[in-house]
Structure 1
Amino acid sequence: MADHYDDVETRDPAEREASLFERLPEILKQAAKAPAYAERFNGVDLDRIGSREALATLPVLRKSELPGLQKGALPFGGFVSSSPGSFGRLFTSPGPIFEPETDALDPWRAARGLFAAGFRRDDVVLNTFSYHLTPGGFIMDSGARALGCAVIPAGPGNTEQQFELIEAYRPVAYCGTPDFLKILLDGAASSGRDVSSIRRALVSGAAFPKSLQEEFSARGIEAFQAYATADLGFVAYETPAREGLVVNEDIIVEIVRPGTGDPVPEGDVGEIVVTTLDPRHPFIRLALGDLTAVMRGTSPCGRTNMRIKGWMGRADQATKVKGMFVRPEQVAELGRRHPELGRLRLVVTREGETDLMTLMAETDGPNDALANSLSASLQSVLKLKGLVTFAAPGSLPNDGKVIADERKLG
């Protein structure tokens, strides 16, 4: 059995990086045909956006903003230059967010992740992701069929009918949430149904703890996870090395400080930002609202692309203090005003019936003048008074949190 989907996965990282950024300017020009991107790129020489440093100068597009932007310019918020009728399928996902699917063979770039999970030509795949309105079912379906698999479009729920399908078609592979796979296995065990044909699984859409992975393995199923979204398809996927998730080909992943578009040092936890190189429907610096960190080195499986640690929480840490919202963007502004500081962490607690804010700041030179200046900046930016404390460089948690709400309410 071949270990890799193709030679692209094992090429020299420098070659991959050069290829991505050589292609990027033309993708940006394609994106700029859409009015919303044209406005965002106004005054930018797109031919000069040929490196990670240059890409980081473009504004991020926050996924959380898409519902409002699309509502103002239906259906795609002005970020797609083609008409809806020129696409293959049209979807909606919670938000609502409207998404088109191109007519490419594997439009969501799922085949590589499925291949890494052991899916092969002529396999029968039970796909339990939903085919109704959302793209989840079609993401897996198109990737599996691109590999030459036959797909049972089962969708979620209705376990009795699922058992009938499994016993009739004998699928060797499963796509769906890990939770539903456990429901199927437990239900089959209690009712005497035979689901023993399933030997491989690609799961997504829910937490996949090691304990559940080991339970599936004990039942004869090797299950791997993927990080995918309804907007982008497969962003990263697990491989047999079981060391993080390998970033997919033909996309650029950045990890930025929450509330900014500024890349963090390698290894720091930050928000996932993705640029896709699909000329029909490019996304440029889409900030997904999820936290992760880059893992150093390359995977023992032989794939040489960047690895990430997987989902590590949400980047949207906005919270209310004394009736006013405080946001990661405001903490980032404090960092810009005081570049001599390291990590910042705004801790919100409660003292009696009063909210209390404390800004923790890393510095190797704490002094009263800096404390007073930082206190003034805190009040100026957040419009609220708060305490300031200093911490040694590198001592604050590397968890991507810039706002920690530690109140015990209710």
Structure 2
Amino acid sequence: MKKNDFFDGLEIRTNDERSSDHLNKVNQLIEQALNNKNQSLRLNGKLNDLNDLSSIPLLRKSELTNKQSKNLPFANLNVSEIKNFAHIYRSPGPIYDLDGHSQNWWRFARALHAADFGYGDIVQNCFSYHFTPAGAMFEEAAKILKCTVFPAGGDNTDLQLEVMHTIGTTAYVGVPDFLKIILEKADEMKITLPKLKKAMVTGGPLFPAVANNFKERNIITRQCYGTADLGLVAYEAAEGDGMIVDESVILEIVKPGTGNTLKDGEVGEVVVTVLNNFELPIIRFATGDLSAILEGESSTGRTNKRIKGWMGRADQTTKVKGMFVQPSQINQILENLKIKNNARMIVSRKNDRDELLLKVESNIANSSDIGAIQQKISDEIKTVINLKGTSEIVPVNSLPNDGKVIDDIRDFGG
């Protein structure tokens, strides 16, 4: 591929070049964060190696919401004063977010470029322009690529269709299901949309049947993954090629309930450090989303690591007999017993009573050894969770690779 097939040269640099740049930038970020006493509580100074990043405690999204509620609006974690922000947003939670004045602050221009958005496109932006930043994120990105934008928002299918037909919209931005609704309305009203050729969707899952529907209509559809806290995290550049991690973030996959990095291919929680947000440094932010790192590089020539995309939620907290059972507690049980293998807590219900069963992978074969360790695990369940539970030793690699630490299989009806 030619260099102009990429948003910039960062997408095709070597791993060594990227690692060196990321280390330099994360240390600049840490230096800035150390100016804030609340940020500095998690930091011990600059890193010597990117692997040292794992020594910094996670900041979980749920914790940020909690902290903000006590010190509105930004939990006193912002380094810059509010008067220096470009915008303030309020997302459901509630959680307050911000952006700065630098160009491509949210970084979504990279994703739109990979989806072949550019000069000559008329983009119908069907994300909201109020309270949350989604509309502004893609507005900024499309303008950087010299697209023409219609700020549509996410309501009124009839008007959306009328505008799409009248102005000759060539590209859609929004949640996938809303585009499907607009297209079905077009079919119903026998309105053709011959110029609509591309779409960037996010904010909800792109189900296979919906993706096939778009494909049958010759609409090239790409997905991206981002949040109001982080901006762009990863994006598609080719069909079936995974999502390429944005050049201005460091992405880790950790075991849910811990900050421990998993091997490539293992499903775990997405943890992100944003390298361009100096207004409110975001370092090792645990999103609560599940994904896994794919092996190898993109077929498009982009060299950064790739993830499978959004694979569900990592926060598997559930309530048993009035007590919350959390992934971090399962990790605590294993750490107390110095067990490093995979484990899964099964929450079930039998004879109108909740039951806990902790399955732990092990190669132990001796029945007496198995009995002894299972008893220790059961005792530790009582100590850590304050609930009775049983344990079962299962073969190594027998538990599913789906990121689940707690599997609540109770039937709640409904």
Aligned to 1:364: 363
Q: CA 1:224–1:297 in 2, change beyond 3 Å: closer, same or farther? A: same
The answer as to whether partners of 2:264 and 2:293 remain within 8 angstroms in 1 is yes
User: Greater CA deviation, 324-333 or 152-161?
Assistant: 152-161
Aligned to 1:75: 73
Report the alpha carbon displacement of residue 169 of structure 1 after superposing the two structures with TM: 2.1
Aligned to 1:38: 40
Helix, strand or coil for the counterpart of 2:41? helix
Are 2:247 and 1:249 aligned? yes
Are 2:391 and 1:393 aligned? no
Deviations 1:20-46 (A, max 9, x none): 0122112111122233212222xx1x1
The answer as to whether partners of 2:257 and 2:328 remain within 8 angstroms in 1 is yes
The answer as to whether partners of 2:268 and 2:290 remain within 8 angstroms in 1 is yes
| 1:148-167 matched pairs, under 5 angstroms | 148-167=146-165
Looking at structure 1, the residues matched to 96 and 11 of structure 2 have their Cα atoms a distance apart, in angstroms, of 31
The answer as to whether partners of 2:177 and 2:210 remain within 8 angstroms in 1 is no
Residue segments in structure 2 that go unaligned for 5+ positions in a row? none
Looking at structure 2, the residues matched to 82 and 231 of structure 1 have their Cα atoms a distance apart, in angstroms, of 16
Looking at structure 2, the residues matched to 325 and 166 of structure 1 have their Cα atoms a distance apart, in angstroms, of 49
Are 2:83 and 1:85 aligned? yes
Report the alpha carbon displacement of residue 308 of structure 1 after superposing the two structures with TM: 0.5
Looking at structure 2, the residues matched to 78 and 264 of structure 1 have their Cα atoms a distance apart, in angstroms, of 32
Amino acid aligned to 1:389: E
Aligned to 2:144: 146
Helix, strand or coil for the counterpart of 1:305? coil
Amino acid aligned to 2:32: Q
Residue segments in structure 1 that go unaligned for 5+ positions in a row? none
The answer as to whether partners of 2:292 and 2:308 remain within 8 angstroms in 1 is yes
Report the alpha carbon displacement of residue 266 of structure 1 after superposing the two structures with TM: 1.6
The answer as to whether partners of 1:341 and 1:361 remain within 8 angstroms in 2 is no
Looking at structure 1, the residues matched to 274 and 288 of structure 2 have their Cα atoms a distance apart, in angstroms, of 17
Looking at structure 2, the residues matched to 53 and 371 of structure 1 have their Cα atoms a distance apart, in angstroms, of 34
Aligned to 2:101: 103
Report the alpha carbon displacement of residue 193 of structure 1 after superposing the two structures with TM: 2.5
Report the alpha carbon displacement of residue 178 of structure 1 after superposing the two structures with TM: 0.4
Looking at structure 2, the residues matched to 90 and 188 of structure 1 have their Cα atoms a distance apart, in angstroms, of 36
Amino acid aligned to 1:309: K
Looking at structure 2, the residues matched to 98 and 135 of structure 1 have their Cα atoms a distance apart, in angstroms, of 10
Aligned to 1:29: 31
Q: Percent of counterpart pairs with the same letter? A: 40
Looking at structure 2, the residues matched to 191 and 370 of structure 1 have their Cα atoms a distance apart, in angstroms, of 67
Looking at structure 2, the residues matched to 125 and 30 of structure 1 have their Cα atoms a distance apart, in angstroms, of 37
| 1:304-323 matched pairs, under 5 angstroms | 304-323=303-322
The answer as to whether partners of 1:227 and 1:236 remain within 8 angstroms in 2 is yes
Amino acid aligned to 2:141: G
Report the alpha carbon displacement of residue 405 of structure 1 after superposing the two structures with TM: 0.4
Report the alpha carbon displacement of residue 241 of structure 1 after superposing the two structures with TM: 4.5
Q: Please list every run of at least 4 consecutive aligned residues from structure 1 whose deviation after the TM superposition is greater than 4 angstroms.
A: none
Looking at structure 1, the residues matched to 239 and 20 of structure 2 have their Cα atoms a distance apart, in angstroms, of 26
Looking at structure 2, the residues matched to 23 and 138 of structure 1 have their Cα atoms a distance apart, in angstroms, of 26
Helix, strand or coil for the counterpart of 2:5? coil
Report the alpha carbon displacement of residue 341 of structure 1 after superposing the two structures with TM: 4.1
Deviations 1:269-291 (A, max 9, x none): 10000001122332111101010
Amino acid aligned to 2:372: A
Report the alpha carbon displacement of residue 165 of structure 1 after superposing the two structures with TM: 2.0
The answer as to whether partners of 2:222 and 2:239 remain within 8 angstroms in 1 is no
Amino acid aligned to 2:410: R
The answer as to whether partners of 2:347 and 2:354 remain within 8 angstroms in 1 is yes
Deviations 1:113-148 (A, max 9, x none): 101111012321110000011101011111111111
Report the alpha carbon displacement of residue 374 of structure 1 after superposing the two structures with TM: 1.6
The answer as to whether partners of 1:340 and 1:363 remain within 8 angstroms in 2 is no
The answer as to whether partners of 1:124 and 1:170 remain within 8 angstroms in 2 is yes
Amino acid aligned to 2:321: K
**Normalization by structure 1: what TM-score?**
0.96
Report the alpha carbon displacement of residue 58 of structure 1 after superposing the two structures with TM: 0.6
The answer as to whether partners of 1:341 and 1:363 remain within 8 angstroms in 2 is no
User: Greater CA deviation, 337-346 or 132-141?
Assistant: 337-346
Deviations 1:178-230 (A, max 9, x none): 00101111111111333221100000011102221121011120111111111
Report the alpha carbon displacement of residue 104 of structure 1 after superposing the two structures with TM: 1.5
Are 2:182 and 1:184 aligned? yes
Aligned to 2:260: 262
The answer as to whether partners of 1:35 and 1:81 remain within 8 angstroms in 2 is no
The answer as to whether partners of 2:294 and 2:306 remain within 8 angstroms in 1 is yes
Are 2:11 and 1:9 aligned? yes
Looking at structure 1, the residues matched to 340 and 73 of structure 2 have their Cα atoms a distance apart, in angstroms, of 43
Looking at structure 2, the residues matched to 157 and 35 of structure 1 have their Cα atoms a distance apart, in angstroms, of 43
Looking at structure 1, the residues matched to 186 and 334 of structure 2 have their Cα atoms a distance apart, in angstroms, of 55
Aligned to 1:283: 282
Amino acid aligned to 2:8: D
Amino acid aligned to 2:389: G
Looking at structure 2, the residues matched to 142 and 349 of structure 1 have their Cα atoms a distance apart, in angstroms, of 48
Helix, strand or coil for the counterpart of 2:400? coil
Amino acid aligned to 1:362: E
